[in-house]
Structures are given as structure tokens and as C-alpha cells.
Chains A and B, each alone.
Chain A
Amino acid sequence: MLLTVEPDGPVPIYQQIRDRIVEAIASGQQLAGSALPSTRQLAMDLGVNFHTVNKSYDILRQEGLVRINRKSGAVIRRDAGSGPPDTSWTRDWTGRLVTLLAEAAAQGMGPEQIAEHCRAAVTAFAFPRAAEDTRQESRP
């Protein structure tokens, strides 16, 4: 997985790291059970403070996408094939989605145009069937 962050960009670095990992999970680059680098290693590779990466991992843990333990470090907990998420998570996500779509509508985009952008973004994701195929390919 290639993690690219813009240190001088408007989005905080911890948020960018969290976003890139979520995108990698959604696109099937990171499957459930795969390991992430330790916080210190990733901080060294990105040239950022260790606490920044720690904060990203902590958000991912709270969101249920990553589990962290002392021995195995950070491991992906969920992916596109892990089944439906909790109802409470879906409710929160819908709230954020409404705000995001409202931004497009407020800027003058029509429903068809918004739906087209959504479809284009979703085609890059690995949904259950694609995720299963990737798993089978990675098996010896």
C-alpha cells in the first residue's frame, strides 16, 4: 500500500493517514487480517511525529477498522467482505454523507451529476465478490 500525504495541505496529517488507509481497505489493497506498520515505523517513513500516526490508528480502532494489540501491532479488522456494519455506524455515516452531498448541491451540481460522481468513486472499491477473488489470488 502506498500512503501519500500532503504535509502542507489543509487537511491534518493524522486525518490524511486515516483516509488513505480507509481507501486502501475499500479498494482491496488491504484485506482483513493484513498487518499495518507500527506507529513508529510509519512515522519514520513519512517523516512525521509518532503521535500523529498514533492518533490515526486510534481513530481507525474506534471506527472498528483496525485492531491493535501489543504483540501483533495494528491489523486490519474489517474489509469490504466483512458483512454489514453496525446500525449506529450507518446512522453516523449517513449524517456525514448528507453534509458531503449537500456541499455539491450547494455549489450547483444536479442530482444526476452528483450520482455520476458517486458511481465513478464506487467503481474503484472492491466489493465482496472482488474482495473474495483477491483473497483467492493471494492464496498459494
Chain B
Amino acid sequence: MTAGSLTAVIAVLLIGVLTCVAPALTRPTLQFGVRVPPQRTDAPVIRRERRAYYWRATAIAACCSAAALVLAGSGSARLTAVVLPAELAAGLSCFWVARERIAAAKHAEGWYAGLRQAVAADTSWRTEPPRFPVAWLIPPVAVLVATAVVGAVRYPDLPSRLAVGFTASGTPDRWVRKSAWGAFSKVAGQLWVTSLWTGLLLIIYRSRPDTDASEGADSTRRYRIFLATYSRALLALVTLVNVGLLLAALRDWQVYRLSGIGAALPVLPAAAGLVILVAAAVRTGQAGSRLPDPAARPGPVPHVNRDDDRFWKGGLIYINRDDPAIMVGSRFGIGWTPNLGNPRACLLYGGILAAIIALTVVRAVAGA
């Protein structure tokens, strides 16, 4: 098993786990991308579809993981990576089947008939905004600087050809000509990962919280805990990804060479970071939906959250031209998603995509 195929196996396992647990992370009033009123979260159709989804998703995850492990054993990282899109497509199909059936029942039975639908904003979110965890940026930046310094020290002594790919036995199998880009590509990767996630988190801290009209200020309190926990877990992941890139860079610069499973050492910190992220997600749930209830719950409220299904294409993509938000909470699973009806969000994500393409092209040219 090479480091590349091990990475693909970890990705398949992770996507399998996330697909299985996603409904449990989502708010009870958002079932498979369908907005439902609090009174209907335990409807028979929802219970039935959740049970069916769990069975299907578990079977898909088990089959794909087994296939990935068998293919990884053959040593082909590319063949192993093919399993990933197949797993994603199968997971999405399960999601859409459940979504269609719940949405059909919702419309047929008129779940929102007679309910007062509203949107809510807690002004304390703006007058007492949450603080970005700046101290958590110190570790990833420190690892980045350390990598750059080691690289600068090693660069004059590096040979004219640099090994950047290794087989299971630790023997180099991919080379690039010695150049600043070739030698410092891992540092560029660290810079990219750190700046991308810092920028996205800064936008998320300025975005709106998921304030629920039926839960009131308590939903904002939960969102604050969720944001604090999840953003720290994300920055811990960025730190561990940078550590992995540091280890890969040290191998490229011939500081060490490991064979066998040891060759996959640079992948392990990122895998540990993903485990931390999943643990944080399971603890808080999307927008803090899994956090314990407050001791004193408010009495019955006159409103339910507005039925906004029409702005969610396929239950996953948010497009609302009248909404000035750039990022909003994801509808399924955990995290955030852009409002593609907002030109600024399109520019932001277009820029990220363009940067990824540019980095890939530069890497290919440097390695040619």
C-alpha cells in the first residue's frame, strides 16, 4: 500500500462515516434537506426514511471501504481514488430518495398549513459578536514558518533532481527538477490551506447564526458554542495538515526516509485532524443541535421557521438573490455552504477554484 492509496482509503472511510452520521448531525427540523415544523419531526414517514437511509448508507460505506482496501492492496492509488466518486454518488442517491418521499408527504398533508412562519434575528449576535480564536492560528503559522526555515537551510545542499513521490518501500518514483517551486511546493500548500481556512472562518464569523424562530435566543446560544468548538477543531485540522506537509517536505529534502507503512507517515496527522473534526461535529451537531437542552425551556412560541425549501436546489445548494448572506449553515450534515444567488459568494468560490487550478497547472509545469 502506497501513501497515495492509503490517503484514498482514509478518504473513502471518512466519507462513508460522514454519510452514515449526517442525518444525526442535522437539526431535527431539517430532514434530508426538507424544512419541517417542530410538530412533525417525529412523523412516520420521517422515521421510516431515516431508518432506510441508515441501512442503505451503511451498506454503501461497507462495500466501498472493502473495495478501496482491496484496490489499495494492489498498490494503485488512482484505482483506489475511483471508489470515492462512486461512494459520493451512491450516498447522494440515498439522500435524494429520502428527500423526495418526505417532501411529497409534507406537501400532500400540508404540514405548514395554518402555522405562522417567520425568520428571527438575535441582535446580541451583532452587539456582542463572538471572538475569532486568533490564538488557535499560532500553531499552524508556527509549523508553516518552521517548514520554510528548514527548507531555506536545506535548499543549497539539495541535488539537481528532487524526489516528490515514493513507493511503499520508500523508493522515489516521481522526480522534479530542482527549483524554488519544486522544493517549496509543500510550503505553498501550507500557506494555501492556512490562508484559505482562515479567510473562510473570518467570513463565517461575520455571517448570520442559525437562529430558529421557534427556539428563540437559545438557538443563538447553541450556535455560539457550535461555532467556537467547530472553528477550533477546523484550526486544529489545519495545524495537523501543516504538520503532515512538514513531514512530506522533510522527506522530499532527504532529512529522513521511511519504508513500508512508515512511508505513509505524512498522511497520519491529517487523518488525526479529521477524527477531531468528526468528534467535534458529533458532540455539537449542526448549529449546536445536539447540545443539551437548557434547564428551563421557554413556553410555547407562536412561530415556526419559514419554509424556505424553494431556495435550496436539490436540498443542498442555496440560491437566494434577495438574501445578502455570503455563507449560510448547511442543510444536511455539518458546516456552511455559499449562497450562490449572491455575486460576492460566486466570486469568492470562483476565486478559490481558479487558485486551485492555477496551483495545479504551476505544479505540473514545474514537474515537467
List residues of A whose CB falls within 8 A of some B CB.
1-9, 34-38, 40-50
Contacts and interface: CB of A to CB of B under 8 A. Distances in A.
B324 A1 contact: no
A46 B116 contact: no
Contacts of A9: 116
B126 A49 contact: no
Contact of A6 (B124, B209, B303): B303
Contacts of A3: 120-123
Interface residues of B, number: 26
Interface in B184-207: 207
Given A1-B122, A42-B121, A47 B325 contact: yes
A43 B323 CA distance: 8
A50 B324 contact: yes
A16 to B, nearest CB: 9
Interface stretch (B43-51, B148-156, B210-218): B210-218
B320 interface: yes
Contacts of B66: none
Interface string B125-144: 11100000000000000000
Contacts, number: 78
B104 interface: no
Contact of A2 (B117, B126, B216, B325): B216
B117 A38 contact: no
B208 interface: yes
Nearest to B308: A47
Interface in B248-304: 303
Nearest to B219: A2
A45 B125 contact: yes
Interface string B301-333: 001001000000000000010111100000000
A6 B118 contact: yes
B117 A37 contact: no
A46 B211 CA distance: 9
Contacts of A37: 121, 123, 125-127
23 contacts: A1-B122, A1-B124, A2-B211, A2-B217, A3-B123, A6-B303, A8-B306, A36-B127, A37-B123, A37-B125, A37-B126, A37-B127, A38-B126, A42-B123, A43-B324, A44-B325, A45-B123, A45-B126, A46-B119, A47-B119, A47-B322, A48-B323, A49-B322
A34 B325 CA distance: 25
